[in-house]
Structure 1
Amino acid sequence: MNTHLNAAADPEADPARDPRRDAIVENARQAFMSGGYAATRMEPIARAAGVSTATLYGYFHSKDELFDAVIADASDDFAERMCRVGASEGSAETRLTAFAEAYAGFMGDPFVRSVFRLVMAERPRFRDVAMAFFERGRTDFGGPLVRLLTELTIGGELRVDKPSWAAGQLMGMIEHPVFFMPLVTGDEVHAARTERQIADDAVRTFLARYAG
C-alpha cells in the first residue's frame, strides 16, 4: 500500500475491491514513477504483486492499458481526498483556511508531484490520458472550493462575482510555492515558509480582496 495515498483499500472493509488488481496497480504505479514508462516491464510488476504474468495480462492486456489504469486510480485517489475538503463549519476564514491547508498538504505531497511528472513526461504518447487527468483535476479539485465560495457569497460573508476565477486565485497562491517551484527545482528544494504559513497567508490575502 502506498504511504501517501490509499490506493489499495482493505478488501475486508470493501468486498467490492479486487486485492490482486489493487496489488498490480500499486506496484505498477511504483514502477512507472521510479523508471518511467519506457523502462517499465510487466514481468517484474507481476512478481512484485505476487501474481503470475498470465494473471497480470488477464487484468491488463498491455502496458498501455496498465498505465491508463494507474493514472485513473491516481485520479480517483486525488479526487477522494479533495472532495472531503470544504465540509468544515465556522466562519469564512475558518472554512477557507481548512481548505487552503488541506490543499497545500495535498499539492505539497511529493507523490502527487511524481504523478504529475509522469503524466507530463508521457503526454506525447498518451495525450488523451494526460488531458483527461488534467481536466478531471480542474473539476474535482476546484469544484469543492467553487461551491464553498458560492455558499459564502450567498451568506454575505464574501463578495465574489465569479467564484471560479476567485477559486483559481486562491489555489494559485498555494500551488506556486508548494507545487510548481518544487516541480521545477526538485523535491530537495524547500520553501522558506511552511505549508501552513503559505495557506494562511493565501487566505489573508484572499479575504483582503473578497471579504463581505
Structure 2
Amino acid sequence: MSKDVPTYHQRVAQEKRKLIVTAATALFLELGYDRTSLARIAERSGVSRATLFKQFPTKATLFDAMVIESWTTADEEDPPTAGNVVDGLSSLGHRYAELLSRPQMTDLFRIVIAELPRFPELANAQFSQGKMPYFESVRNYLLAEHEAGTVRVDDLELAATQFLGMISNYVFWPTLLVPGWEVSAERVAEVVDEAVRTVVARYAAGGPG
C-alpha cells in the first residue's frame, strides 16, 4: 500500500504538469508571453494557483520546462556507441527528425520568434537548454567515432551543424513559413538516410575527405 501512494501522487503531478505546459503554450501563442499571467495559465489548465506556483514559481521556469520537455527524446536512449557510423548517425538523425516533427516544437519556435525583440532570454533558453544539448550529443558522438578511427573530422562543430542542418532544413523550417507543409514518414526517412550518406561520404576514414 505504501508503495502505491507515491506512485499515484507522482502520476497526478505529471498529469497536472502536462496540463499546465499545454495551457501555457496555447496562451503564449494566443496572447503573447508578456500578457499571459500564471493565474491565467492556472485557470486555463484547470489546476489551482497553489499547484501551479509550486511547480512553476515564475513564467521563466515554466518556459524553461517547455523547452526541456520539447527537446527530450521519448525513448531516452543512451547515445550510440562508436564503431558503426552509419547506424550511429541514423539513430541520432531519426531522433532529431522525430523531435522536430512534434507540434509543440513548432509552437515553441513560434513563441520564441514572436517574443524575441522584447524577451531575448526566451531565445537564449531555447538555444542553451534545447538545441545546444542535442547538438553536443551529435558532436560528442562524432568525436567518439573520430577517436575510434571510423571517421576523420577536423571541425566537429561544422560536421555536426552540417548533419543536423540537412535534416532540419527539409523537415522543420518550412513548417514555420509554408502553410500546410507536411512531410511523410517515408520522406523523413529518406532525408535522414541521405544526410547520413552525405556525412559518411565526406568524413569516413579512407574516404575523399
What's the TM-score, normalizing by structure 1?
0.77
Indicate the residue corresponding to 1:181 in structure 2: 174
Q: Could you say if the C-alpha distance between residues 153 and 59 of structure 1 is closer, same or farther in structure 2, counting changes exceeding 3 Å?
A: closer
TM-score by length of 2: 0.78
Which residue in 1 is equivalent to 2:96? 103
Q: Between the two proteins, what is the percent identity of the paired residues?
A: 29
Give, in whole Å, the separation in 1 of the partners of 2:190 and 2:105: 20
The 8 Å contact of residues 46 and 56 in structure 1, kept in 2 or not, is answered as yes
Quote how far apart the aligned CAs of 1:35 are: 4.4
- The equivalences for 1:79-158 within 5 A come to 79-81=71-73, 84=77, 86-87=79-80, 91-158=84-151
Residue 7 of structure 2 aligns to a residue whose secondary structure is: coil
**Amino acid in the other structure paired with 1:69:** T
Indicate yes or no: 2:10 matched with 1:12: no
Deviation at 1:14, TM superposition (A): 8.2
Aligned to 2:61: 69
Partner of residue 44, structure 2: 48
Call closer, same or farther: CA 1:112–1:58 in 2, change over 3 Å: closer
Q: Is the 8 A contact 1:28 1:45 kept in 2?
A: yes
Change (3 A) 1:121 1:133: same
- Number of positions where the alignment pairs a residue of Structure 1 with one of Structure 2: 197
1:80 aligns to what SS in structure 2?
Answer: coil
Q: Please give the secondary structure, in 1, of the residue aligned with 2:73.
A: helix
Structure 1 unpaired stretches of 5+: 1-10
Offset at residue 32 of structure 1 (A): 1.9
Counterpart for residue 3 of structure 2: none
> Does structure 2 retain, via aligned residues, the 8 Å contact 1:93–1:203?
yes
CA shift at 1:58, angstroms?
Answer: 7.0
Report if aligned partners of 1:25, 1:69 keep a CA contact under 8 Å in 2.
no
Q: Closer, same or farther in 2 for the Cα pair 1:109/1:159, shift >3 Å?
A: same
Matched, 1:195 2:188: yes
- Matching residue of 2:204: 211
